[in-house]
Amino acid sequence: MALRLTGTGRVTVTRLTYQWPDRRCVLAYTTTGTLGETAVVATVPVPGRPGTDPDLWAVATAHLDPGPFGPSIQSAARWLLTTALGARLTTSPHSFDAHAATWHADIVASFDLTEPHAGHLHGHVGRLSFADQSLNERAWGLVD
C-alpha cells in the first residue's frame, strides 16, 4: 500500500505544460518536516480529464539531458524541486498559493538527495488533494 501523508500549510499550485504544446497537469508543492526539509511535489489529478496525472518522474527525465548513462534519480529530483520552487517564487495567472490548507498526498516515490537543493534534503512525489473541495476545484480549473 502506498504511503499517505497529511498536512496543513502553504501549498503552491500551478499549471504545468509537461509536453508541448497542450499536455498539461496541475502541479502542487508543499513541505513537511520540522523545518520544511522534506518536499512534496505532486499532481492534482482532474477527474474525467485524461493526461492530467502524468508520471512526474517520467516528466522530469524527459526534460533532462540523457548523457551517456541516462538521467539520474538525483537529477530528476532536482528538476522537480526547481520546477516546483520556481512556481512558488514567480506569479502567474495559472497558479495560486493556498495558505493554511489541509492536504492529503498519496506518495508513489520518495527520494533522498546527496546534498540540499532548493532547501530540501528529502522529497516525495505523488498525487495531492485538498480537504477543502473548493481548493480542488480551483486547482482543476488551472488546466484550461
What's the mean per-residue pLDDT of the chain? 95
The answer, yes or no, to whether residue 29 has pLDDT greater than 80, is: yes
SS3 state of residue 56: helix
pLDDT tens digits, one per residue of 51-98: 999 999 999 999 998 776 667 899 999 999 999 999 999 989 999 999
- Give the side-chain half-sphere CA count within 13 A for 13: 26
Q: What is the mean pLDDT of residues 22-49?
A: 96
The pLDDT assigned to 56 comes to 98
Nine-digit cell at 128? 495531492
pLDDT confidence bin for 1, thresholds 50/70/90: low
